[in-house]
Chains A and B, each alone.
Chain A
Amino acid sequence: MSVLPYPLLSASLLLMWMTLNSFSIGHFVLGSIIALFASWAMAALRPHRPRIRRWHLLPQLLGIVLYDIIRSNIAVVSIILTGRTTRRKSDFLTIHLDLKDTTALAILAVILTATPGSAWLEYNSVDGTLLMHVLDLVDDDAWTDLVKNRYEKLLMEIFE
């Protein structure tokens, strides 16, 4: 067992500790000790260790996601307030995902859920089938294209 089994986790914990308290030397030391023990506790659980291969694409992903969340917030607000029930069709959608990395899949689930108007329902890890529900499903292909090309492609570049 190495001294620092999960460097990213430890760094995030230290950063969180110092954001919650203050950026001082005392809290740096205290936070480091806590982060160190927490990462040892984590090592005992032996979770799958995520491997981020292309760090520089993360800001791009974050930007795309924040923009899409704003866009879909506006879309869902207009659906709820105008009460469009005649033209709107909400339906289930199955998508085949090529993404296999569990961390990347978790991030994709967070993205799809955080974006109002789409919800991740079920995923079959054997054949990579995802069942999702879309509030305003105008075009199946457009949604498949959005998930496959806008998110999955970028996530695959980052994690695989």
Chain B
Amino acid sequence: MNHAAELPLWAAIAVAAFLVMGAALALIGAIGFFRLATFYERLHAPTLGTSWGTGGVVMASMIFFTMIGGRPVIHEILIGIFISITTPVTLMLLARAALYRDRAENDPLVPPSVASSNFPPADESKS
């Protein structure tokens, strides 16, 4: 990026801060995959990358190209919007596949399906 020198200092700091924050969140999400114990806990780790991980990189990109181009460049925000909308689809598919598997194996830690009409009261899922 030979244009980078044209950036004013405050913009360079903001871009760097957002970029490092987004990248760090994605990395920590990956570490979470490694450290968390169960499948359902690991479900939460990648949402770091899809929420403010993406958000940080998108913000950095918007500030950088707006300053370089001299006109507002905001189409990156669409990436953020579409990632937010599509993440739940994948996550629910994975989670329900895991629930199905664990129920088939009669895992005592997994609550019974709420999809059946006669599901037990909420407190029975723990103990």
- Residues of A at under 8 Å CB distance from B? 16, 19-20, 69-70, 73, 76-77, 80-81, 83, 85, 90-95, 109-110, 112-124, 126-127, 129-131, 133, 135
Q: CA of A69 to CA of B25 in the docked complex: distance in angstroms?
A: 13
Does the CB pair B75–A116 fall under 8 Å?
Answer: no
Number of interface residues of B (CB under 8 A): 42
- Which single member of B50, B96, B110 contacts A114 (CB below 8 Å)? B50
Chain B, 81-100, contact with A by CB distance < 8 Å: what is the 0/1 string? Answer: 00011011001100110010
Q: Is the CB of B111 within 8 A of A94?
A: yes
The residue of chain A having its C-beta at the shortest distance from the C-beta of B112 within the complex is A131
Is B36's CB within 8 Å of the partner chain A? yes
6 more contacts with CB within 8 A, not counting A120-B92, A133-B44, are A80-B35, A92-B126, A110-B84, A114-B87, A116-B48, A122-B95
Contacts of A116 in B (CB 8 A): 44-45, 47-48, 51
B51-95: CB near A (< 8 Å → 1, else 0) gives 110000000000000000000001101100000110110011001
Show the binding face of B for A, using Cβ within 8 Å: 25, 28-29, 31-32, 35-38, 40-41, 43-45, 47-48, 50-52, 74-75, 77-78, 84-85, 87-88, 91-92, 95-96, 99, 110-111, 113-115, 117, 119, 122, 125-126
Q: Is the interface of A mostly helix, strand, loop or mixed?
A: mixed
Check if A73 sits within 8 Å of B32, measured CB to CB.
no
A109 in contact with B32 given A115-B51, A116-B44, A124-B114 (CB within 8 Å): no
A131 to B45: give the CA distance in the assembly, Å.
19
Taking a contact as CB atoms under 8 Å apart, the answer to whether B96 and A16 are in contact is no
Contact B114 A119 (CB under 8 A): no
